[in-house]
A and B are shown apart, each in its own frame.
Chain A
Amino acid sequence: MKRTVPLLIAACCGVVLIITAFIPATVSWGETATVWFDILAAIAFVLGGGNLLKIHLKKVSDRAAGWAYSLITVLAFLITLTIGLTKWSVPPATDQERYGETFATLPLDDLPKSLTFTEQVDLDAKYAREELPDSVKRQLQLKQENDRIVSLIFRGWMKPGQAQELLAAHQNLEWQSAIESLAEKAAVPKSMRGKVIYHADHEVLSAAGVLTENGEKELLAMEASDNWDEAVRTLTEKTHRKTTFQLREIPAHFKIPEQFAGQVKLVDQSLELTGPLTPAMQNAFTNIFPRSRPMSKKDTKDFVQKVATLDGGLTKEQKQLFTALLGVSWNADQLIAVLDEAGKSKPVIKTYRELLKEKQSGVRELEPTKPSTAPDIKLNKQQIKFIRDNVDNQQYDLGNLAGDLKERGDWNTSQQQALGKFLQKAPTIGARNKLICLALTKGKSKLSDAQYSYLLEPYRVEHLWNGQIYDLLVKSHEVKYPWSGAYLQTGSPFWFAYEYAFKPLTATMFSLLAFYVASAAFRAFRAKNFEAFLLLGTAFIVLLGRTFAGAWLSSLVPDTLPMLRVENITIFIMSVVNTAGNRAIMIGISLGIVSTSLKILLGVDRSYLGSGED
């Protein structure tokens, strides 16, 4: 049994996988087997680790020769393993933490009854037989009667992502119309939209930012049950926690944005925050630095001159480069084109219900959009003139541009958004100056400390401020998944072991082979016969073709004989002869693997069973 069962296992697994490769419906079995194989390989590492400990600990306990080295191996192994498995000092994954949100545990069954949404439908039962998207499995129920789906019942609020997944689940207008109606019913009420959400997968009620008194009342009014009340009160309490953050430096022009004035206060050198800092707040707080914009010739000249007059001066080439770099910016024409494009009315996307209605009324070719009723808006002469006059005026605040353009002619929200996006794309003055410094110090060019200081001050202030706001985001945040970070997170102890021990040690060991290969070649490669000469000669040409000497030798070859150039000979060897030789080898290997596989599966080769002595 000890030998027959393994032989049968190997034969059955192998034969089944070969057969499944020829049956389309079972091709995925091979993928599953590969995953199982990976799992066993990972478990085999545990076996390897166990063996390593067994051997080296025995050596240490026996005080055998070289036991101190074994001790080093054991310690290195245990330390690396401990810090890696425990994710020591690894921060939680930023993309999983849902910064700005506060959670209160609430099982799905404890949701208020008013948060159960029902859509009466008449759908084919086939939808119930197919798998629902994972994100809605817990919340959506398809009620059937007489082999038809008669209602869709959804527990909790439906998130836009869930609605999208459900719509994409079946490309059928009846289904999509029903889901669309259900999504509208199950959406978070307008007054609470963006403020609360229910994560069914995690069974938590979540609030973004601060849950206000009105918000709390509105939620409590949904149902008077203990668990619901407790969850809402917990959420309110948690979102009113205060965080005080000592600032090291505050940008001169910083003001608390008006929309967040109720939550954040600047007291002396400290920010006092109520609730968590949301990503929107972080964005508003950090997006306060002026961005690069077109500069007039005079402004450009003055700026370059100012830097040139500082200690160290600027060379002619540096001045030219500096001027050219300042000229690389957006211009008024680009902005006008973007705003005109945004002003064009866009076709309106039809709802699935509209499309279904059209289909039922007999329309054959359904159009997904309909023309907009809104007129096209193009910037008028006055608006264009205003843009041209002011974009390069450094005294003019581009933040007022939307308001000023609105005063001078037609203006719509899509243009407003396009303007915001356009201006956001430009780098901040700090980022621009950093690029300028990089360009001006390329090669042997240098800048003085005074010039660096003058140019990089905006970059320093911006970097420091953004760092402080990020620290505030983390400080005001309640960690939800402490183990979610990447095991090889930069800066973690495991990363240190990888970066400063594993990497240099393995790379150096492999690099040592350069010496040994060269030494072995010196001893072994003697052109004793024609075959050895071919091997040696090819290796020499390939090596020569990748050195300066090869290029130099090629330069001596007359242009009429390009085939004698070292690089061309190398290309011929690699692309024709080497390819041919490798192909023959690979064909041979594949035949060898096929025959070895067959020998294993037929039980001819049993070497993997071992001698059976252990």
Chain B
Amino acid sequence: MKFEHTKLTLLFLFIAAFAIWQTVNDSEKLAGREYVKQVEGQWVPADEIDRQAGIAQVSTSRSIGLWVGAFFTLFIFSFLYKDNPFYKMAESTVVGVSAGYVMVVGFWTTIIPNLLGKLTPGLIQQWAMPGLSPEQAPGAWVYIFPLILGIMLIMRLVPKASWISVWPLAFIIGTTAGLRMVAFLEADFLSQIENSIVPFVEIDETNSVDYWQSFQNIFSVVSILACLVYFFFSIEHKGAVGKVSRFGIWILMITFGAMFGMTVMGRIALLAIRLEFLFREWLNLHL
């Protein structure tokens, strides 16, 4: 074992020892455990009042889950130091679990109700969806086509027949191109232009000119046009066009700066949530 790995192992052992110590000695008896109560057959998280009332109990399985989640979080954070076996272990787990998760979600939310539920409603009703009508809807037989296309897609796993998987792929690409083209023209192109057409002189409730709003409207329209000029590469950006496109670049830079700021804030918020999970939910430490 490399020296770095030994150091990390010792660090995790130290954290585990501290967490055990905190779990045992926590005066509120909240660290390292999850309390649940039963409501209509469901075990749901219990609050302080439930604990005081004596209806909450420590859930062994969820407490183990809490510890697993906490160590997974720490393993991922360990990558900040450098790549290591703990991180790789967590990474391998997330790949496996994510792949399994999306397959399960796809199966229960799409394949069962939208494919098999349409082709064999009686069978699916008896098995998994009692609320489904056993009568096949008129024209539902056409769902045999996505089934055939799906099977053709899976043929990708068979080397000799993998060429056939391009057919369903062509269907996916073709429908996406057709649907997206119309949707983007409607939702983005036309609606964005429509929303950009604003009055240059804004009148407020007292029938006087709202100078600030008017300035904002003019600035907004000029900025959009300037950005579009910058995107227009058919003419050389020289002279007046060059100046306008340079103003467009400034607007785009401010936009990217704002986007960057928002992204950083989002990530920091996520980080704060993870730290809160470790310190409050796991260790019950209110620093």
Contact = CB atoms under 8 A, between A and B. Distances in A.
B75 to A, nearest CB: 9
B173 to A, nearest CB: 5
A257 interface: no
Contacts of B137: 134
A36 B44 CA distance: 37
B178 A17 contact: yes
B132 to A, nearest CB: 9
Interface string A313-339: 000000000000000000000000000
A134 B133 contact: yes
A85 B128 contact: no
A497 B257 contact: no
A487 interface: yes
B25 to A, nearest CB: 20
Nearest to B268: A514
A484 B267 contact: no
B61 interface: yes
Interface stretch (A187-195, A207-215, A292-300, A580-588): A580-588
B40 A470 contact: yes
A504 B235 CA distance: 51
B114 A35 contact: yes
Interface stretch (A116-124, A223-231, A593-601): A593-601
Interface string B144-182: 011101100110110100110111111111111111111
Contacts of B248: 584
7 contacts: A34-B179, A39-B150, A539-B260, A577-B251, A584-B251, A597-B178, A609-B166
A368 interface: no
Interface stretch (B9-17, B87-95, B202-210): B87-95
Nearest to B131: A96
B103 A49 contact: yes
Given A84-B101, A505-B93, A610 B258 contact: no
Interface string B89-123: 11111111111111111111111001100000000
A323 B45 CA distance: 30
Given A37-B172, A77-B99, A452-B52, A573 B146 contact: no
B217 to A, nearest CB: 9
B42 A96 contact: no
B72 to A, nearest CB: 5
A480 B157 contact: no
Contact of B69 (A33, A467, A504, A532): A504
Given A13-B178, A535-B254, A512 B49 contact: no
Given A512-B79, A587-B189, A73 B264 contact: no
A515 to B, nearest CB: 6
Contacts of A51: 157
Given A73-B95, A501-B69, A510-B267, A438 B49 contact: yes
A77 B48 CA distance: 37
Contacts of B165: 47
Contacts of B96: 52, 72-80
B76 interface: yes
Given A584-B252, A600-B174, A539 B65 contact: no
A481 B170 CA distance: 39
Contacts of B257: 534-539, 542
B263 interface: yes
Contact of A43 (B72, B130, B153): B153
A512 B274 CA distance: 10
Contact of B97 (A76, A438, A534, A541): A76
Contact of A134 (B135, B216, B250, B256): B135
Nearest to A499: B65
Bin chain A's interface residue count.
35 or more
Given A39-B114, A47-B153, A585-B227, A593 B130 contact: no
Interface string B263-287: 1110110110110010000000000
Contacts of B44: 490
Contacts of A589: 184, 188
Given A47-B154, A500-B69, A517-B267, A40 B168 contact: yes
B69 A534 contact: no
B130 A7 contact: no
B94 A135 contact: no
A494 B104 contact: yes
A574 B175 contact: no
Given A512-B77, A531-B253, A581-B227, A17 B179 contact: yes
A217 interface: no
Nearest to B80: A515
Contact of A40 (B54, B172, B271): B172
A381 B285 CA distance: 62
A38 interface: yes
B46 to A, nearest CB: 10
Given A484-B129, A535-B254, A583-B195, A474 B106 contact: no
B201 interface: no
Contacts of A409: none
A501 B41 CA distance: 24
Given A6-B166, A447-B52, A542-B261, 12 more contacts: A17-B174, A45-B103, A93-B130, A134-B135, A134-B137, A434-B49, A501-B94, A504-B72, A530-B250, A532-B253, A581-B251, A614-B159
Nearest to B102: A45
B127 interface: yes
A2 B167 CA distance: 9
A597 B180 contact: yes
Contact of B265 (A75, A202, A540, A546): A546
A508 interface: yes
B170 A514 contact: no
Given A512-B80, A597-B178, A94 B171 contact: no
Contacts of B60: none
A497 B258 CA distance: 36
Interface string A481-494: 10110010011001
Contacts of A38: 110, 114
A138 interface: yes
Contacts of A7: 170
Contacts of B94: 501-502, 505-506, 509
A497 to B, nearest CB: 6
Interface string B210-230: 000000100111011001100
B68 A500 contact: yes
Contacts of B239: none
B89 A91 contact: no
B108 to A, nearest CB: 4
B255 A502 contact: no
B157 A78 contact: no
Contacts of A487: 104-105, 108
